[in-house]
Amino acid sequence: MIYSMTAYARHEVKNDEITICWDIRSVNHRYLDLSFRLPEELRDLEPYFRDITKKNINRGKLDLSLKVSMVDDKAKSFTINMVQAKQVIAACQELASNIQLPAPVSPLDILLLPSIRLENDAYWKNIKELARESLPDVLAKLNISKRQEGKELLTVILRRLKEIEIKLEEINNLLPNATQMHKAKLLHRLKELQAVYDEGRLEQELLYLTQRTDIAEELDRLSIHVKETKRSLTEGGVVGRRLDFLMQEINREVNTLAAKSTEPQISLLTVDLKVLIEQIREQAQNLE
């Protein structure tokens, strides 16, 4: 089974007090790149979240977002650190005495200071427990989406590979007549020039031309690369980088084939092959 790097998953968990929701978006990337958007109170769990994600995902750029909402407003109760609050108020008054027309200090501004609010530890402990328990579930959903997308990509790539095999077969069928066509063209040209030529020398030139334009070796290597690509896809797993390498090799052989060929029909077929190779490369870039 192969997996796409492009996918999306959402997973929501709630109890009597809170609701948490994971959102994960994944796109293609050369390596595994993780980006977390978490409530500040859960930042200490990010290393744990990263470790779990790396065990479930191989490649891709992932944006993981965790949102928390309250079902019961009483759950997130807090007390005020009055000692700290009085110190902040005293400091503000001292500064105000040195400022002309100072702005009044808002109690809300003081409450927003982290050191002033003493949060309900049980509330965040509950959230952390739900977040840890639910991350594997949303990653499982993401992998289901990646697997489905990978299945569709596999169908497209195998169809393109089949088209490549058909084009290669067409080129192979054109090879037996290549030498005769070279000879016919050369004789036609000599006749136009009304040139006198030696039959032995003509055969030598034809032999040299045939050797220089022989593409049988390139066709053999292309056939091997196509078979290896199909084998890799059948085995599944992390195949994206291997497919990209194989497409580079196939493209290199087609470029050599195009450069050596003197037949217009073969040249047209090499253009078709390059189009198919590029289409496969575009799809393969989305595979893990």
Domains of the chain, by residue range, sit at: 7-74+121-146, 78-118, 148-284
Determine the pLDDT at residue 180.
64
Determine the pLDDT at residue 257.
87
In tens, the pLDDT along 214-247 reads 677 889 999 999 999 999 999 988 899 999 999 9
Residues 271, 70: Cα–Cα separation, whole Å: 61
What's the predicted TM-score (pTM) here?
0.72
Residues 160, 154: Cα–Cα separation, whole Å: 10
Determine the pLDDT at residue 79.
63
Instruction: Produce one character per residue of 86-109: b if its CB has 16 or more CB atoms within 10 Å, e if not.
Output: eebeeeeeeeeeeeeeeeeeeeee
Under DSSP, the state recorded for 164 is H
3-state percent helix, strand, coil for the chain, nearest multiple of 5 = 65, 15, 20
Nearest CA-CA partner of 25 in 3, 8, 2, 42:
8
Determine the pLDDT at residue 142.
97
Helix or strand or coil: residue 225? Answer: helix
Determine the pLDDT at residue 258.
87
- Are 288 and 248 spatial neighbours (Cβ–Cβ below 8 Å)? no
Under DSSP, the state recorded for 17 is S
What's the average pLDDT block by block, 10 residues per block, for the chain (288 residues)? Answer: 94 87 95 94 93 95 92 58 75 79 71 60 80 96 96 95 96 74 62 62 59 74 95 91 94 90 85 96 93
Determine the pLDDT at residue 213.
55
H or E element in which residue 80 lies: strand 78-80
User: Do β-strands 18-27 and 7-14 pair in parallel, antiparallel, or remain unpaired?
Assistant: antiparallel
Determine the pLDDT at residue 73.
55
For the chain, the straight-line distance linking the first and the last C-alpha, in angstroms and rounded, comes to: 11
In degrees and rounded to multiples of 5, residue 261 shows phi and psi of -75, 140
Q: What is the dihedral of CA 90, 91, 95, 96, to 10 degrees?
A: -30
- Are 276 and 164 spatial neighbours (Cβ–Cβ below 8 Å)? yes
CATH architecture for segment(s) 7-74+121-146:
2-Layer Sandwich (3.30)
Determine the pLDDT at residue 81.
66
Residues 80, 137: Cα–Cα separation, whole Å: 37
- Are 26 and 8 spatial neighbours (Cβ–Cβ below 8 Å)? yes
Helix intervals (H) in 101-177? 107-111, 121-174
Residues 22, 137: Cα–Cα separation, whole Å: 10
The C-alpha angle with vertex 67 and arms to 61 and 70, in degrees rounded to 5, equals: 170
Nearest CA-CA partner of 215 in 162, 158, 170:
170
Determine the pLDDT at residue 56.
95
